[in-house]
Amino acid sequence: MAQSKNECPSFNCSGKLLWGQLHCILEGLLSKDEDSGCVIPEAEPTGTILQRNFKYKVKAFPGRWEVKELVVQTEWKEEPFLAGFIIYCNEVAKPADVLKTCSELGMTSDVSKNVIYVNRYDWSWAHDLGDAPEELLFDANEEDGWSVINQFKENLAAQKDNSLIKEALLVDNKPVGVHLACPHTEYELGWLVFHPIKRDELIAIVYDGAYTGLEGNISLVD
């Protein structure tokens, strides 16, 4: 049965995930290293901004991963609005608990709580691709990673600017990830949440596409 455009997509994870925007996904695919909940990535000496060396690839808890919308009401905007998403493994992560921990931390990491914060300069348009040649964006083969990247590109080409995106990423007609975007996004924040015992395994990602810092009254929507 086809998924409704209003539903949040889900997928099964086999044990590793690539995360971030299109160029970050590509960088993660090419990386031999992985992000971890045990270590805050080193910062680049980039002048007036703080930018950390994420790998955009993680070990992740295997199983079914689901998505909930983050709806926020703030003092500076009367009506509640879609601010982002939480993507989580439903076997080990409770989204309300994950959101509470991240909102209490705010724009910071805490290794003792297994949370690594992703600043606005760590990804999105503020992050450069680095040494990977641009033509790799246009290569295609049958490997899953490249199939996902090509679909990601097609999704972006088909969407209007500042539109809501909730799409499953498919390989052989099976969902292997999600493509999510909020309307009117400029600065984006994130929190990588790792397993409390298997601390190199991701169990959730909180994506703040509206640059709220998770401040205000936040509710979860399926």
pLDDT along the chain (222 residues), means of 10: 59 89 82 86 69 86 94 78 92 94 93 92 66 37 61 66 78 86 82 92 93 88 79
The Cα-based distances of 105 to 62, 102, 110, 124, 174 in angstroms read 26, 5, 8, 22, 35
Q: Tell me phi and psi for residue 129, to 5 degrees.
A: -70, -25
CB 27 within 8 A of CB 130: yes
- Quick one: which of 195, 214, 191 has its CA closest to 203? 195
Instruction: Provide the residue type at 134 as one letter.
Output: E
pTM as predicted? 0.83
Q: Give domain limits for the chain.
A: 11-221
Q: Which of 13, 201, 189 is nearest to 117 (CA)?
A: 189
Task: Give CA–CA dist 139/141, Å, rounded.
Answer: 7
pLDDT in tens, 58-84: 999 999 999 999 998 877 667 888 999
Q: How far apart are CA 168 and CA 173, in angstroms?
A: 10
